[in-house]
Amino acid sequence: MTHPNQPLFWRDSRMPHVELRKVDDGRKVCYAPHSHTQWSLGAITAGESTFHYRDDRYNISAGDLVLMNPGWVHACNPIEDQPWAYLMLYVDANWLTQLRYAAGLLDMPSWRDISTPVISDAAWYEGYCRMANCLLDPQRALLDKQTEVVEYLAALMQALAGQPAEPIPNAPASLRELAVYLNDHAVDEISLDDLCDRSGYSPGHLIRAFKQHFGLTPHAYLINRRVQLGQRDLKRGTPISEAALNAGFNDQPHFQRTFKRLVAATPNQYRQSSLNQQVDAAGGE
């Protein structure tokens, strides 16, 4: 039984493109600014909170939906210890791109950001909750769950199709290459001198310019990437100590502290949910 103060992560290996997080008491759930590789869609199910998204801040409350593009820095946190609860759906960006492209909503099968950050509409909220309840119900069939997800997201993408996001101003090629380098070498020991040599920037200019374009300093970007790698291993049931080393952390305690700061859950909570779902899926239809 999951304690009300602990997050629940729903996953099913047969639906690897979606993951659902459920938090019933979010008063202690605090995030540092971070980003995801997935597109994310959340529903505030009780109370209210603050939603920081890139350079903007929104007050959101029960019945609101929040939308987050892949790679866009954000944080959603409680207001003065007031109770709040939420659901968060993480959707693989490539899978969602194909869904949009197949529906004729994209000219080519490449990701396009969505401008809408918040939806306050009872019908979309109620539909989201029905979809989430279906995913969380172990008695519902796989086909039922797949249908709920595809129907809801296809309809939402259709409704949002006329609202493409203003893209983040293109970073200089040297900074884009640096971001790719950090992604590809996240587990390595990287120095500021090395990044300056690669980019041609001075240390101060590099930190300011990188944060302006990517929302995080190079170090924070690297740590965010390492946590994403840790999540990937934990989803597979990898032991925490091994996941920590694979993600580039020197020791397990450092990994645990950093993981909790960015994911607002412990590595064990995240991994255990994966194991539970694997057992449920194996025993299902």
- What pLDDT is attached to residue 5? 58
Tell me how far apart the alpha carbons of residues 53 and 69 are, in angstroms, rounded to a whole number.
10
Q: Tens-of-pLDDT digits for all 285 residues of the chain? A: 445 556 789 999 899 999 999 988 756 666 788 999 999 999 999 988 889 898 889 999 999 999 999 999 988 777 777 788 899 999 999 999 999 999 999 999 999 999 899 999 999 999 999 999 999 999 999 999 999 999 999 999 999 987 655 655 677 888 989 999 999 999 999 999 999 999 999 999 999 999 988 889 999 999 999 999 999 999 888 999 999 999 999 999 999 999 998 888 899 988 886 555 544 555 554
Q: How far apart are the first and last CA of the chain?
A: 22
- What pLDDT is attached to residue 244? 96
Asked if 114 and 58 count as a contact pair (C-beta separation under 8 A), the reply is no
Structure-token pair, residue 204: 């101060």
Tell me how far apart the alpha carbons of residues 274 and 285 are, in angstroms, rounded to a whole number.
18
User: Residue 67: beta bridge partners?
Assistant: 41
User: Residue 49: beta bridge partners?
Assistant: 60, 78
Collect contacts of 130-136 with beta carbons under 8 A, ≥24 apart.
Answer: 131/89, 132/20, 132/22, 132/43, 132/87, 132/89, 135/10, 135/12, 135/18, 135/20, 136/8, 136/10, 136/20, 136/22
Domain with CATH 1.10.10.60 in the chain: 173-275
Domain with CATH 2.60.120.10 in the chain: 8-160
Alpha helices in 64-121 (DSSP H): 93-102
Asked if 4 and 10 count as a contact pair (C-beta separation under 8 A), the reply is no
- Name the CATH superfamily housing domain 8-160: Jelly Rolls (2.60.120.10)
Tell me how far apart the alpha carbons of residues 63 and 129 are, in angstroms, rounded to a whole number.
10
For 173-275, CATH number out of 3.90.190.10, 3.40.50.300, 1.10.10.60, 1.20.1250.20 equals: 1.10.10.60
- What pLDDT is attached to residue 84? 82
